[in-house]
Structure 1
């Protein structure tokens, strides 16, 4: 029994094959270039293995409603050449196996709730903070989705009155992603995030914007745990600031677990997504 997984990001595709116990046999990274070139590399990798099911977690937005014509497609995306690509269709034509299809952050959320920082919980939110901001939700072992999948990075937040940065999101400017994703750090300071000093005031602003979002998610969804991942969260001091700001903003209005147990770092650092896709492949096969 072999399962395949694809964590498809705008920068790279992580492809993996695992056995029935989900021990990874082989994993590779493929640069995300043109669809044709990228898919050729994906096929070259998976053609070596007789996989029994495949899980895909893709950058988005994506079509998730099976009764819609755009199901399985990547929708409007700034990634050149990828808007409208029938990702799922390409895989189905190549491999006659059950295929699970969702977003990369949903897959990561599933990975974290099954094997990572949210293991043993019935519900969790996973938020990745990097070049962009995206989130996934798992409730009762199922990925949450409705009309579409969550776009948690585009939640509007209250701008600090002293913040004159226009925001990096080409659609909304003042949304969470526009004001708090990784590029905002360098855009405001001229210094890359990983090189900023720990006491730079930008971190307090960053923490406030993220804490605002986490408060909104908590009030709406009341998850058992919130897991934070992505490149920006490699800053340990930022997690402490977010927790402090969240506690201040909530003002004891709603009871949550102890803050150190409620807002936590990812347990599968840099692997949440690919492990999630393998778990979803296994689940799809059993279904």
Structure 2
């Protein structure tokens, strides 16, 4: 479904992503982990065309989301054309980014009505189904400020799903939450995985990575150090020194 081919990214002359190749199959859950500043979030933002690579290409179902060909030459897509691809790749951020002045229901139906051109009645019915999916049917008339962080993030997931994306990206979706609220968000994500949603997840939740991930991708200093199934990645005999140190640090911080 998704292919990153020799992707590079530089900021102010400093290369933060160094020729990364990565593929994601339909229905896969790929978990990206690594230390702060390793390029995880930048990589995710490039997949959603929120950042433009310095080199390489990104393909969604075989089609570039960065360039179009005309007369044998590649030309960048316009911002309007890029927004069309973004409707196919949903994104859930660390911050919830809900509209504070709109109710939960209004937040969810905004995109389908104005971007997908769905009729309001149909968008409302779909939103109610999604609210039930994330366990918040009783909150449709509430405003974001009255919700816990976990509830707001679940609404953000429902809002992303309302656009009927082909895949979902999660950028550390639980890192802004109090520890007791993390579980309710992870349960929703696990259920999406069970339903076959294609997902790329940047997270420090190793329990989720081990249980739900089909592959674990470890990035350090803009390079993929290892890409392996969880049973291989977390096996002590298969960890290189850098990964071993990273996982030990996470374990110590969790105590």
Pair in the same fold by TM > 0.5: no
TM-score for both structures, normalised by structure 2: 0.29
- Compare the two structures and name the one with the higher strand fraction: 2
